[in-house]
Amino acid sequence: MNYNLMSMKKVFVGLSGGVDSSVSALLLQQAGYDVTGVYMKNWSKDLPGFPCPWKEDYQDAKRIAVQLGIKFELFDFEKEYFELVVQYMLDGFKAGITPNPDIMCNQEIKFKLFYDVAREKGADFIATGHYARTIDGKLLKAVDDNKDQTYFLYRVEGKVLENVLFPIGHLTKSEVRKIAEENNLVTAKKKESMGICFVGKVGIKEFLSQYIDTKPGNIKDQNGVVIGEHEGAIFYTIGQRHGLDIGGGLPYYVTGKNMSKNEVYVTTDLNDKSLWSSEINLTSVHWINHAPKQEQSLQVRTRHRATLVNCKIKNITKEHCILELEDPIRALTPGQSAVLYDGDICLGGGIIC
């Protein structure tokens, strides 16, 4: 790895306790940077049946710092995290949309709060274990298309990205594992965490149940006939197939929900017009460097790892944007993000409404 920068520049790297951030710290050290590892304590609360893994992750991060012989700090962002990320998520689900806490965490915590504190402490750069690349403040897709995480980074500011390093963005996951094993890193064989980004193995349903009161309601088919009962409308997303507990016949897909009536609507028809969209309305748009032009042809991704779809910019304003799709997309989910690309460059995006 060579960023063509002077050696001994100070970089604060976010150490999560996982293999990706561990290898990132190693590569930065090998490149001659003055590296400080930082564990961000964002969440520590246990949930019934799901103990929070933060202590284990913190210890793994500390072990990596000791193993590499680098400085190590803990930044306690728990209060800010709840206010800026968790509350945002809870408010979204209450409103009947499906927010993305990973994106908000990157916007508010990792690339704003962490960035600001690190810079105040004298860091020239911050670094994370994200699979992404930067060039002159532009955000580029990772070399490993299957691991690319630019979808979650589209709300980061370009001026911040000028001082951000993504040491593993040019590597595949298997190459990262190999580097970790060759250097006997203590996290080399650690599995990736699943579930909500900050709670560990707990699922979204279990988490929301701790904070939002829900009650059963009707599930109605495309003909308005009540065919079942749900446990709470907040738990269902557009296009969802599994977890509906509706027996017999063809599979059902969620087409919508009414929060005031506490009803969920489903269909057995995959060609149902309510499941398909030929345009996307975006709000809270954010452009990393500058806004695209009216009528510009780009590519859009509507969920992590989703296939890129050709689109054209329509009716772009400061806050809103309409995308005209070359091919219809199934199951657009309000509250999720649509992220725009021009080839390998991630331009930004907005919230689907």
Structure confidence by residue, pLDDT tens digits, 63-91: 999 999 999 999 999 999 999 999 999 99
Is residue 19, in this structure, part of any structural domain at all? yes
Query: What is the distance, to the nearest Å, from the Cα of residue 232 to the centroid of all Cα atoms in its chain?
Result: 24
Q: pLDDT grade, residue 200 (50/70/90)? A: low
Cα(204)–Cα(132) distance, rounded to whole angstroms? 26
Answer yes or no: are the C-beta atoms of 80 and 113 closer than 8 Å. Answer: yes
Same domain, 43 and 63: yes
Same domain, 25 and 171: yes
Same domain, 52 and 79: yes
Q: Which residues are catalytic?
A: 105, 197
Q: In DSSP terms, which residues pair with 244 in a beta bridge?
A: none
Same domain, 90 and 105: yes
Q: What digits encode the pLDDT tens for the residues 249-277?
A: 788 999 999 999 999 999 999 888 889 99
Answer yes or no: are the C-beta atoms of 97 and 219 closer than 8 Å. Answer: no
Cα(83)–Cα(187) distance, rounded to whole angstroms? 31
> Token digits for 270?
């995959």
pTM: 0.93
Q: pLDDT grade, residue 216 (50/70/90)? A: very high
> Minimal CA–CA distance to 62: which of 46, 43, 80, 38?
38
List, in order, residues 6 or more apart from 90 with CB less than 8 Å away. 208, 211, 212
pLDDT tops 80 at residue 197: no
Question: Beta strand pairing status for 276-287 and 34-41?
Answer: unpaired
Same domain, 227 and 174: no
List, in order, residues 6 or more apart from 166 with CB less than 8 Å away. 24, 127, 128, 130, 131, 132, 133, 134, 142
Is residue 191, in this structure, part of any structural domain at all? no
> Minimal CA–CA distance to 139: which of 118, 109, 160?
160
Same domain, 175 and 77: yes
Question: Residue 241: its pLDDT value, please?
Answer: 85
Cα(206)–Cα(235) distance, rounded to whole angstroms? 10
CATH code of residue 64: 3.40.50.620
Q: What does pLDDT average to over the chain?
A: 92
Question: Residue 206: its pLDDT value, please?
Answer: 82
* Other C-beta atoms lying within 10 Å of the C-beta of residue 324: 15
Question: Residue 198: its pLDDT value, please?
Answer: 59
Same domain, 222 and 342: no
Question: Residue 173: its pLDDT value, please?
Answer: 95
Same domain, 66 and 110: yes
Task: Give the sheet arrangement for strand 226-230, strand by strand.
Answer: 226-230, 217-220, 263-267, 253-258
Question: Residue 159: its pLDDT value, please?
Answer: 97
Same domain, 300 and 242: no
Question: Residue 89: its pLDDT value, please?
Answer: 94
Range of the domain at 315: 273-352
- Work out the average pLDDT over 308-335: 96
pLDDT tops 70 at residue 93: yes
Question: Residue 194: its pLDDT value, please?
Answer: 60
> Token digits for 137?
């403040």
CATH code of residue 250: 2.30.30.280
How many distinct structural domains can be found in the chain? 3
